[in-house]
Amino acid sequence: MPPPRTSLSSSPNAYPKAMRLFWIALIGVFVAVGAPNVFRKAARSRIHFAGPFHSTDNFLHFETGEIDVTQKLLALFASVPATKKIVIFVRGDDRQSGVIGMLVAYLAWPHPARIVDVSQPGWEASAGEKDLGSVGKFVFCRVGPPGWWPGGDKFGETLEVFSAPSVAQE
Amino acid sequence: MNLLSVLGACLMIVAAGFGALRLVGVQGQQSHSVFAFSWVLGTGIVSLLIWVLGLMVGGALIPTLVSICCLSLFFWGAKVSANRLIILPRLSQASKIEILLGAILLIEIGAMFYWSYVHTLGLDGILNWEIKARYGFASNGALPSSYFQDSGRAFTHPGYPLGIPNTEMWLYFWLGDSNQFWAKTIFPLFYAAGALLLVALSAHLIGWNTPGLIAAVLLFFVPQVSVEGGSAVVGYADFPLGTVYLATIGSLLVYCRSEDVRWFRCYAACLALLPWIKVEGALLWLLAALCGAWVIFRRKGSSARFLALLPGAMILSAWHIYLACMHTVSSHDFLSVNLSNLWANIYRLGPIGARLLEELTNLEIWGLSWLVFIVSAVLAAVKFRNLMAIVLLTAIISPIAVYCFSYVLSPWPDYLGHMGVSISRLLMHVAPLGLLMTAIVAAESWRELPGASIASAGTRTLD
C-alpha cells in the first residue's frame, strides 16, 4: 500500500531547474569517478581452482607456488588422531607467514591448533611441549625449521610439515 | 547438480522469508520488494533455526526440520490473506528510463554474481565466517564447545554471531559437503536484496520508481561495495549487515510516512536480526531501536509497540548466554570502557577525525559517494524538518560517530592503523542508507517542475 503522495519537504524548492541540473551533474560525476576504478579492479579477477577449496587453494597457491595444497594438508592432518595438537610456527613481523599460519590452523580442524610466533621473545618457552606425544604435526610457515630435524613434507619454499613422532625419534 | 542444490537452498530461504513477510502483514508487494525482504528475513529465520535446532538435535534432522519450518511458514503466509502473493512488474506501465535503469540494474547484479564466483573469499570471509559454517557442518550441524574454547583459534573470533555462517551452512546441508566456492552465492544475493530494497523503499517513500532505480544503479559504482577489499562479494558480513540495516530503517521510515502499522511490524522483524549478523549489529540494533522508540513517542503510538524492540534484545541476550555457557575464549579487540582509559586516550579524537575525513574523501575506495551523501544530508536537514529526516540522519550519522569513537579505545599502539584496516568496512553498514537518503532528497528537487512532481508521479509508482 503506497503512502499518500505528498511532498516530504517543508519548504518549496526555490530553484527547481538549477537543482535538477545539479543532480544530473552529480550523478554523472558519481559514475565517472567510480566506474574506472570498478572496471579496472574487476578486470583483474580470474577464476582458478573452482572447487570445494576454491579460496584456500588460491591463497596457498599464491604463497607456496604449488597446487592442491589444501587437499594435501588435509590428508596429512587426517593421518594423525584428532586429539593430537597441530603446532604452527609463524613470524608475527611477516604478514604472509601469519596468513599461512591461520589458514593452516583453519584446515587443521578437528585437531586443536596452537600458533607460536617466533618473533616474540621467549617463544621457545611457550612452544616447549613437555609431552611430544600430544602433538600430531609441527608446521613451519615462512620459518626455517631446526637444521637437525628430519625432512618434512615441503610445499614450495614457505611451508613445511613435520610429523611429531619422527621428530621425537631424532 | 551443485547449482540445483544451491538453488533449492536459496528458494527455501526465500520461502521462509516470504511467509514471515506475509505474516507481519506486508502483502501485495511488487516481486522485487517481496524478494528483497524475503531474503533478509529468510536468512535470519534459517540461521536462527539451525542454531536453535543444533542445540537439541544433530545430523540430517536439522536440515529436515528447518525445511519443514520454511515450507510451513510459506504455506501459512500464503494462506493468511487473499491478497496476491506477488505482483510482477508491468513493462507497459513503466517509463522508458525505468526500463533502461532496470536493465542496467539486472546486468549489475549479474556482474556481482560473476565477480563473486571468480573472486576468492576474503581472508576474514574464510577465517571469521566460513570457518564456522565448515566446522559446524563437520560437527553434525552445531559448532562444538571445543571450538569456542580453543585459544589457538581465538583469531577466528568464536564469539561472532552465526547469521552468515549458518546461512552458508544451510547451503552445505543441501550440497552434502562444505564448499568454499558455492558458499559465496549468498553474498551477491545480499547485494541484489540491498539494491532492490533501495528501489522498493524509495518507491514507498516518494511514490516514484526512478530515483530508487538510479540509487540502486549507483550502488554498483561505489568501489568499496563492488570491488574493493571487504566488498559485497568476498564473504564478509558488512554488506549483509548494511542490507539488513537498510531494511530496518527503511521500514521505519515507511511507517513514519504512511502510519501503516504493518511496516512497523516489518521494522521490528528486521531489527531483531541486526545483532545476529555481526557484533556491530548490536550497536546498530540499539540505534535503530532508539529511532523506533522516538517514533513511537512522537506519534503517541501504543506503548505495546515497544514490545517490538524485545526480539532483538532476546536474540542478543540468548547469544551472550550461550557464549558464556560455552566458556568462549575472548578476543580483546578494544580496551575496556572506563574513565581512566577514556581520559588517557581522548587525545586520539583529533587524529581519528582527520583519518575519517581522509577516508570519506578517498575517491579510489568510495568514489564520490560520501560527498553526495553529505550534500544530501545537508539538504535533508534544511528541507525536511520532520520526524523522517531526524530518523534518517540519526540512523546514518550516529553509527559513524560511535565507530570513530571506538578507536579511542583501540588497544593497537597504531590506533590509526587499526582504523585504516576496518573503517571502510564499517562505513558500508550505512552506505546503502546514504543512497536511500540521496534518492529521497534528489526526488524532491524535481517536484516543482511541471509534470515531474512526486504528486503527479502516481502512474509510475510500484503499487
Residue with cell 514507498: B204
Do residues A39 and A59 both lie within one domain? Answer: no
The pLDDT of residue A2 is: 46
The pLDDT of residue B225 is: 95
Compute the distance between CA of residue B117 and CA of residue B61 in angstroms, rounded to an integer: 30
Residues 6+ apart with CB under 8 A from B25: B261, B262, B265, B266
- Residues B68-91: pLDDT tens digits? 999 999 999 988 876 676 777 777
Mean pLDDT computed over B187-197: 97
Nearest to B273 by CA among B294, B291, B257, B289: B289
Q: How far is CA B168 from the centre of its chain?
A: 16
Output B130 or B230, whichever has higher pLDDT.
B130
Do residues A97 and A40 both lie within one domain? Answer: no
Nearest to B215 by CA among B438, B397, B448: B438
Q: Which of A41-45, B19-23, B167-171, B361-365 has the lowest mean pLDDT?
A: A41-45
Dihedral sign, CA of A127, A131, A136, A138?
positive
- Residues B100-133: pLDDT tens digits? 999 999 999 999 999 999 888 999 999 999 999 9
Compute the distance between CA of residue B130 and CA of residue B275 in angstroms, rounded to an integer: 18
Find out whether A101 and A161 touch, Cβ atoms under 8 Å: no
Do residues A59 and A113 both lie within one domain? Answer: yes
Compute the distance between CA of residue B461 and CA of residue B229 in angstroms, rounded to an integer: 36
Supply the range of the domain harboring residue A25. 14-45
Query: Does the pLDDT of residue B348 top 50, yes or no?
Result: yes
Compute the distance between CA of residue A44 and CA of residue B121 in angstroms, rounded to an integer: 15
pLDDT band (50, 70, 90) for residue B352: very high
pLDDT > 70: percent of chain B: 95
Question: Which chain B positions have a beta carbon within 8 Å of A13's beta carbon?
Answer: 383, 444-445, 447-448
> Considering chain B, what is the average pLDDT of its residues?
90
Residue-wise over A60-88: b if at least 16 C-beta within 10 A, else e?
A: bbebbeeeebbeebeebbeebeeebbbbb
pLDDT band (50, 70, 90) for residue B461: very low
The pLDDT of residue A5 is: 45
Mean pLDDT computed over A152-164: 89
Do residues A33 and A61 both lie within one domain? Answer: no
Mean pLDDT computed over B57-68: 94
The pLDDT of residue B382 is: 86
Residue ranges of the domains in chain B?
A: 2-460
The pLDDT of residue B28 is: 66
Do residues A108 and A145 both lie within one domain? Answer: yes
Query: Does the pLDDT of residue B163 top 50, yes or no?
Result: yes
Mean pLDDT computed over B395-415: 93
Nearest CB to A109; choose among B135, B455, B457: B135
pLDDT > 90: percent of chain B: 72
Do residues A77 and A145 both lie within one domain? Answer: yes
The pLDDT of residue A40 is: 87
The pLDDT of residue A157 is: 87
The pLDDT of residue A10 is: 53
The pLDDT of residue B40 is: 97
Query: Does the pLDDT of residue B214 top 90, yes or no?
Result: yes
Nearest CB to A9; choose among B115, B126, B444: B444
Query: Does the pLDDT of residue A4 top 70, yes or no?
Result: no
Residue in B closest to A47 by C-alpha = B118
Do residues A35 and A105 both lie within one domain? Answer: no
Q: Do A1 and B220 touch (CB under 8 A)?
A: no
Asked if ipTM goes beyond 0.85, one says yes
First to last CA, chain A: 77
Query: Does the pLDDT of residue A3 top 70, yes or no?
Result: no
Do residues A33 and A100 both lie within one domain? Answer: no
Q: Do B126 and A37 touch (CB under 8 A)?
A: no
Query: Does the pLDDT of residue B453 top 50, yes or no?
Result: no
Query: Does the pLDDT of residue A75 top 90, yes or no?
Result: yes
Output B389 or B398, whichever has higher pLDDT.
B398
Residue A7 lies in a domain: no
Considering B147-156, B188-197, B298-307, B342-351, the range whose residues carry the highest mean pLDDT is B188-197
Q: Is beta strand A113-117 parallel, antiparallel or unpaired with respect to A153-155?
A: unpaired
Output B301 or A101, whichever has higher pLDDT.
A101
Do residues A65 and A41 both lie within one domain? Answer: no
Residue A9 lies in a domain: no
Query: Does the pLDDT of residue B456 top 60, yes or no?
Result: no
Query: Does the pLDDT of residue A1 top 50, yes or no?
Result: no
Strand positions, DSSP E, chain A: 85-90, 113-117, 135-141, 153-155, 159-163
Mean pLDDT computed over B333-354: 88
pLDDT band (50, 70, 90) for residue B207: confident
Mean pLDDT computed over B356-362: 95
Query: Does the pLDDT of residue B341 top 70, yes or no?
Result: yes
The pLDDT of residue B330 is: 78
Give CB contacts under 8 A, 24+ apart, made by B74-82.
B74/B15, B74/B16, B74/B18, B74/B19, B75/B19, B76/B19, B76/B23, B77/B18, B77/B19, B77/B20, B77/B21, B77/B22, B77/B23, B78/B18, B78/B19, B78/B22, B80/B22, B80/B23, B80/B27, B81/B22, B81/B27
Output B129 or A129, whichever has higher pLDDT.
B129
**A97 phi, psi to nearest 5 deg:** -60, -45
Residue A133 lies in a domain: yes
Residue in B closest to A27 by C-alpha = B218
Nearest CB to B445; choose among A19, A38, A55: A19
The pLDDT of residue B387 is: 86
Do residues A114 and A40 both lie within one domain? Answer: no
The pLDDT of residue B454 is: 38
**A109 phi, psi to nearest 5 deg:** -55, 140
- Residues B294-316: pLDDT tens digits? 999 888 777 778 888 899 999 99
- Is residue A110 reached through a cis peptide bond, with omega within 30 degrees of 0 on the bond before it? yes
Mean pLDDT computed over A128-153: 82
Compute the distance between CA of residue B144 and CA of residue A110 in angstroms, rounded to an integer: 10
Do residues A128 and A163 both lie within one domain? Answer: yes
Interface of A with B in 5-64 (CB under 8 A): 5-13, 16-17, 19-20, 22-23, 26-27, 29-31, 33-35, 37-38, 41-42, 45-47, 50-56, 58-59
| C-alpha cell, A138 | 609441527
Compute the distance between CA of residue A154 and CA of residue A152 in angstroms, rounded to an integer: 6
Query: Does the pLDDT of residue B455 top 50, yes or no?
Result: no
Query: Does the pLDDT of residue B458 top 50, yes or no?
Result: no
State which amino acid sits at residue B317: S
- Residues B220-229: pLDDT tens digits? 999 999 988 8
For chain A, how many structural domains are there in total?
2
Residue A4 lies in a domain: no
Residue A96 lies in a domain: yes
- Residues B14-37: pLDDT tens digits? 999 999 999 988 776 788 889 999
The pLDDT of residue B59 is: 87
Mean pLDDT computed over A73-79: 94
Interface of A with B in 88-127 (CB under 8 A): 99, 102-103, 105-106, 109-110, 112-115
Output B366 or A41, whichever has higher pLDDT.
B366
Do residues A139 and A68 both lie within one domain? Answer: yes
Q: Do A2 and B218 touch (CB under 8 A)?
A: no
